Amino acid sequence: MAANLLPALGGVALFLAAGFALTELFPALRRLSLPHRLAYAYLLGVATVAGGLYTLSHLLDIPLRRPAIFGLALAVAAAGLLIRLLRAGGRRPPGVRSSGAGDWQRGRVGGGSAHEGAEQGDRTPGGRRAGLRRLLPLVFPAVTLAVTLGVLADAVSEPVRDWDGRMTWSAQARYLRADGTVNASALQRARWYISHPEYPLLLPVAQVAALEATGAGDDDPTFRALYAAFLPALLLLIHDAARRWAGRAAADLAGLAAAAVPFFAYGGEGGAVSAYSDLPLACFYGGGLILLLRSRLRPFDGIAAGLLLAAAVLTKNEGTPLTLLALMAAGLVIVRAWLAARRRGAVPLSRTAHRRAARLIATALVAALALALLIDWRTGIPNREDENYAEFVDLSDFWPGVVTRIPSVGSVMLRQMTAWEHWGVFWWALPLVLLAGWKGWTGRRRAVSLPLLLALAGPLAVAWGAYSVHWYPEDLARVTWNRLLLQGAVPLFVLLALALRRLLPQKALLSKPPQNLPAGLL
Amino acid sequence: MRFRLSVPQAVALAAFGLFLATSLPVAMGTSANRVLQALRRAGESPDAARVRVFGAPYVETIDTIRRTIPPDGVYALVDGEPVEEGAALWVRHDLAPRKAVFLGKTGKLPGVKRLRSRVPARARWVVIAYTNGRPPDMIERFRFLEELEARRGR
C-alpha cells in the first residue's frame, strides 16, 4: 500500500492544492473552517483543473499531458495565491479571521453562522449532558476520518472491478489518455465499441490528469483515490450546511448518519469505493446548491457555485437537469423574498435580494458555459450503446407508465432502501424523524427547507421519469435507485438535520433556543 | 427548564439512535478491515493486485493479448456468455486503448459473410470474452471465421 499511497495522494493533492488556493478568491469559502474549506477546495480543484483540461483539449487541441495539467493547476493556484497576497497587502477589516483547524476544534465551524456566538457560552454545565456536549463534536470528525481512511485504503490496494467503472468511466479514461484528447478517435468513430460515448467526461479527465501527473500506469488503482476523496467532501458539505442552518449538534448527528450509511462509503456499485460518477455528482450538485442558498454571500461567490454546478453538468447526464433545479431552488428564495416584501409594502427587492439575483445570474452563466461545451463536444460523437432517452421518448410515453408502474417499480425501490447492506435501518428511522421533527422546516427555516425539498425532488423525478418509459423499469430501478438517492444526499441530510434540530434537547446541546435565532441566519 | 419529548419524538429519536447504533460500528469495522487488508498488501504491485483479484490465468492471457495487439491496434470482440454478464465489457476495459469492433454473442452471431464485412481489415485477431475468471480466447480472424463457417455446416 505504501508504494501506492504516494501516487494516490499525489493525484488528490493536485486538485486539492489548486482548489484550496482558488478558495481564496471567494469570500464565502475562505472564511470556512479548514476541514469545510478543504471539502470545497477539492470540489473546486476537480471542477477547474479537470473542467479546464476538458475545455482546453476540446477547443484548443491542447494535449492531456503533464505540461497542460501542471500548467493549469499552477495557474489556478497562482490566481488564488495572488489574491491572498493582495489581501494581505491591503487592509483587512476588523473581525475577519483567517481559517484554521482551531475553528473546528472550538466548534466555530461555518464562518458566519448565527450559532457562533450562541455556542461560545455553552460550556459551563457539568454532568452527563456536558459530557455529551463535549463528546459529540469529536465523534463526527473521528468517524469521518476513519471512514475516509477505509475507503482510501481500499482505493490504493484494489483494482477497479465495479460495473460502470469498467464499462464507462475508467474505460473512457484509457481511450482519452492514449490519444491525449477528449476527442478520442474511439469516441468519434461509430464503428468502435464504446458504451455511452456521449456521457460527460469530467471524471475520466480527472483520472487521466491524476495518472499523468503521477506517472502511474493504466492498471494502477491509485486513481480510485480521486473517487474515494469525494466521500469526506460529501460529509463535510452536509455538516457545513447543516451546521449553518440547524446548529452543530444536529449537524454532527446528520453528518454521522451520512457517514454510517453503508452505501455511501462501501456501496460497490456507486459508493466511494467504486469508480461511478454519482458520488461526485452528489457533491457538485449539493455544494453548488448550498452556496446558492446562503444569504450572506457576495455576487462574486456565485462564480464558485457556478463552477460546482458546471462540474455537475460535465460529470453526468443528470447533472444538467439537477443544475437547472438548483438554479430554480435559488430562484424560489428570491421570489419568496420578493413576495414577502410586497406583502409588507416594502421596496420590491431589498439589497440582499439584489445580491442574490446577481449571484444567481453569475452562477447560471458559468453553468451555461459548461453546457455549451458539453453540447459542442457531443456534436462530434455518434451516439451508440446508450439508452438515448431524448431520441425515443415522447411526453405521451410517460402515460400511463408513470402511474401503472408504481407497484412493480415501487417494490424494487423499497427493497433497495430496506437492504441492510446498503442502508441499515436508515429508511425505517428517517420517516419517523421527519414526521416528528417536520416543524424544523417551518418558520424562518422555510427559506431553506423549501428549496432543499425542491432540490431533493430532482434526482427522484429523474428516476421516476426514467422508470416510467424504460423497457425494463424494474431492472433499471434495481441498478440506479440507490445511486439516485445518493445524488440527492446533501439536501436530504440537511433536511434531516433541520428535523433533528426540533427533536434535540436544545438546552443540553445548544445554548440558544431556535426561536431566538437572529434574522441574519439564512 | 426541563426538556420534554412527546411520544412520537421519543420514538423518532430512538429509531434514529438505533440506526446510528447499528450502522456506525459496521462502518467502523469495515473501515478498520479495509485499512488492515491494505496494510497486509503493502508493497503489492498493481499487476500482483490484478492477479489476486482476477486470477493468474485471466491476467496472463490479457497481458499476452496486450503484447500481441499494439495499444493503437484494433480487434474484433465476441461475448462468449449466453446471458449478459459484462464479459465483453471487462475485456474491452482491460484491453483499452486497443479499439474493439463488437460482433455480438457467440450464440447470436450473424452469417459469416456479414461478419467478414464488419471486421476491419486491420483487425487480425478475434477475442472471445467470458466471465468468472475464465481467460478470453484469442483467435486469428480467418481461423475464427473458418471455424464458424464449419460449425454452421457451410
Contact criterion met (CB < 8 Å) for B31 and A151: yes
* Nearest chain A CA: its distance from B141 CA (Å): 17
Q: What is the pLDDT of residue A437?
A: 93
Q: Could you read off the pLDDT of B5-51 as tens digits, one per residue?
A: 889 999 999 999 999 999 999 999 999 999 999 999 988 999 999 99
The CA-CA-CA angle for residues A162, A163, A166, to 5°, reads 80
Q: What is the pLDDT of residue A91?
A: 54
Chain B residues within 8 A of A219 when measuring between CB atoms: 46-47, 50
Of residues B6, B15, B35, nearest to A149 (C-beta): B35
Of A392 and A463, the structure prediction assigns the larger pLDDT to: A463
Chain A residues 235-264 with CB within 8 Å of chain B: 253, 256-257, 259-262
Q: For residue A40, is pLDDT > 80? A: yes
Secondary element (H or E) of residue B139 = strand B137-140
- Whether residue A417 lies within 8 A of chain B, CB to CB, comes out as no
Of A18 and A126, the structure prediction assigns the larger pLDDT to: A18
Contact criterion met (CB < 8 Å) for A506 and B41: no
* Spatial separation of the C-alpha atoms in residues B21 and B18, rounded to whole Å: 5
Closest Cα in chain B to A384: B102
Q: What is the pLDDT of residue A127?
A: 57
Of residues A4, A253, A429, nearest to B15 (C-beta): A429
Query: What would the grid cell of residue A452 be?
Result: 432543499
The CA-CA-CA angle for residues A324, A162, A418, to 5°, reads 70
Query: What would the grid cell of residue A208 be?
Result: 487521466
Q: What is the pLDDT of residue A21?
A: 95
Contact criterion met (CB < 8 Å) for B53 and A260: no
Of A240 and A506, the structure prediction assigns the larger pLDDT to: A240
* Spatial separation of the C-alpha atoms in residues A100 and A329, rounded to whole Å: 31
Residue A321 vs residues A161, A327, A329, A365, A381: alpha-carbon distances, Å: 29, 10, 12, 15, 21
* Nearest chain B CA: its distance from A211 CA (Å): 13
Give the 3-state secondary structure percentages of chain A, helix then strand then coil, rounded to 5: 75, 0, 25
Probe site for chain A from B36, B93, B102 (most A CB atoms < 10 A): B93
Contact criterion met (CB < 8 Å) for B19 and A424: yes
Query: What would the grid cell of residue A488 be?
Result: 440527492
Chain A residues within 8 A of B77 when measuring between CB atoms: 193
Closest Cα in chain B to A432: B12
Give the residue among A301, A146, B44, A213 at the shortest CA–CA distance from A309: A301
Contact criterion met (CB < 8 Å) for B27 and A147: yes
The CA-CA-CA angle for residues A35, A484, A377, to 5°, reads 85
Contact criterion met (CB < 8 Å) for B9 and A219: no
Of A108 and B8, the structure prediction assigns the larger pLDDT to: B8
* Nearest chain B CA: its distance from A291 CA (Å): 28
Q: What is the pLDDT of residue A110?
A: 35
Give the 3-state secondary structure percentages of chain B, helix then strand then coil, rounded to 5: 55, 15, 30
Contact criterion met (CB < 8 Å) for A500 and B16: yes
Q: Which string of DSSP letters, residue by residue, matches B53-85?
A: HH-HHHHHHHHHHHHHS-TT-EEEEEE-SSS-S
Closest Cα in chain B to A166: B93
Q: Which of A57-71, A281-295, A383-397, B61-75 has the lowest mean pLDDT?
A: A383-397
Q: What is the pLDDT of residue A105?
A: 41
Q: For residue A37, is pLDDT > 90? A: yes
Q: What is the pLDDT of residue B154?
A: 54
Q: Which of A74-88, A136-150, A479-493 has the lowest mean pLDDT?
A: A74-88
Contact criterion met (CB < 8 Å) for A262 and B9: no
Q: What is the pLDDT of residue A506?
A: 65
Q: For residue A307, is pLDDT > 50? A: yes
* Spatial separation of the C-alpha atoms in residues A426 and A423, rounded to whole Å: 6
Of residues A149, A167, A170, nearest to B86 (C-beta): A167
Q: Could you read off the pLDDT of A225-243 as tens digits, one per residue?
A: 999 999 999 999 999 999 9
Per cent of chain A over pLDDT 70 is 85
Confidence of residue A117 (pLDDT cuts 50, 70, 90): very low
- Whether residue A268 lies within 8 A of chain B, CB to CB, comes out as no
A224-244 burial code (b ≥16 CB/10 A, e <16): bbbbbbbbbbbbbbbbbbbbb
Residue pairs spanning A and B at CB distance below 8 A: 183
Q: What is the pLDDT of residue A104?
A: 47
Pairing of strands B74-79, B99-105: parallel
Q: For residue A107, is pLDDT > 60? A: no
Q: Which of A108-112, A255-259, A439-443 has the lowest mean pLDDT?
A: A108-112
Chain B residues within 8 A of A262 when measuring between CB atoms: 23, 26-27, 30
Chain A residues within 8 A of B39 when measuring between CB atoms: 1, 153
* Nearest chain B CA: its distance from A269 CA (Å): 14
Per-residue 3-state assignment (H helix, E strand, C coil) for A350-399: CHHHHHHHHHHHHHHHHHHHHHHHHHHHHCCCCCCCCCCHHHHCCHHHHC
Of A389 and A20, the structure prediction assigns the larger pLDDT to: A20
Closest Cα in chain B to A423: B23
Confidence of residue A477 (pLDDT cuts 50, 70, 90): very high
Q: What is the pLDDT of residue A383?
A: 85
Q: What is the pLDDT of residue A352?
A: 75
Q: Which of A106-110, A480-484, B98-102, B123-127 has the lowest mean pLDDT?
A: A106-110
Average pLDDT over residues A185-205: 95
Contact criterion met (CB < 8 Å) for A186 and B99: yes
Residue A501 vs residues A131, A230, A246, A516: alpha-carbon distances, Å: 19, 26, 6, 14
Write down the domain spans for chain B. 8-40, 46-152
Per cent of chain B over pLDDT 70 is 97
Contact criterion met (CB < 8 Å) for B90 and A429: no
Q: What is the pLDDT of residue B111?
A: 84
Confidence of residue B59 (pLDDT cuts 50, 70, 90): very high
Average pLDDT over residues A293-301: 82
Is the Cα torsion angle A157, A163, A167, A172 positive or negative in sign?
A: negative
Probe site for chain A from B11, B23, B132 (most A CB atoms < 10 A): B23
Contact criterion met (CB < 8 Å) for B28 and A146: yes
Half-sphere exposure of B127 (CA within 13 A, CB side): 35
Of B103 and A84, the structure prediction assigns the larger pLDDT to: B103
Q: What is the pLDDT of residue A130?
A: 64
Contact criterion met (CB < 8 Å) for A432 and B30: no
B102 phi, psi to nearest 5 deg: -90, 125
Q: For residue A347, is pLDDT > 70? A: no
Reported in sequence order, the residue ranges of A199-352 that DSSP labels E, i.e. its strands, are none
Of residues B16, B96, B120, nearest to A175 (C-beta): B96
Per cent of chain B over pLDDT 90 is 73
Average pLDDT over residues A120-135: 55
Per-residue 3-state assignment (H helix, E strand, C coil) for A309-327: HHHHHHHCCCHHHHHHHHH
Chain A residues within 8 A of B79 when measuring between CB atoms: none
Q: What is the pLDDT of residue A168?
A: 95
Query: What would the grid cell of residue B51 be?
Result: 492477479
If you count them, how many residues does chain B have? 154
Give the residue among A80, A111, A61, A101 at the shortest CA–CA distance from A16: A80
Q: What is the pLDDT of residue A137?
A: 82
Average pLDDT, chain A: 86
Contact criterion met (CB < 8 Å) for B15 and A425: yes
Average pLDDT over residues B91-116: 92
Average pLDDT over residues A301-307: 95
- Whether residue A266 lies within 8 A of chain B, CB to CB, comes out as yes
* Spatial separation of the C-alpha atoms in residues A127 and A123, rounded to whole Å: 12
Chain A residues 105-144 with CB within 8 Å of chain B: 143
* Spatial separation of the C-alpha atoms in residues A399 and A385, rounded to whole Å: 26
Give the residue among A471, A509, A29, A494 at the shortest CA–CA distance from A286: A494
User: What count of other Cβ atoms lies within 10 Å of the Cβ of residue A148?
Assistant: 20
Confidence of residue A391 (pLDDT cuts 50, 70, 90): low
Chain B residues within 8 A of A425 when measuring between CB atoms: 15, 18-19, 22-23
Is the Cα torsion angle A375, A377, A379, A385 positive or negative in sign?
A: negative
Chain B residues within 8 A of A182 when measuring between CB atoms: none
Q: What is the pLDDT of residue A313?
A: 98
Q: What is the pLDDT of residue A342?
A: 81
Identify whether A400 is preceded by a cis peptide bond (ω within 30 of 0). yes
Q: Could you read off the pLDDT of A135-152 as tens digits, one per residue?
A: 878 999 999 999 999 999
- Whether residue A419 lies within 8 A of chain B, CB to CB, comes out as no
Of residues A150, A500, A507, nearest to B35 (C-beta): A150
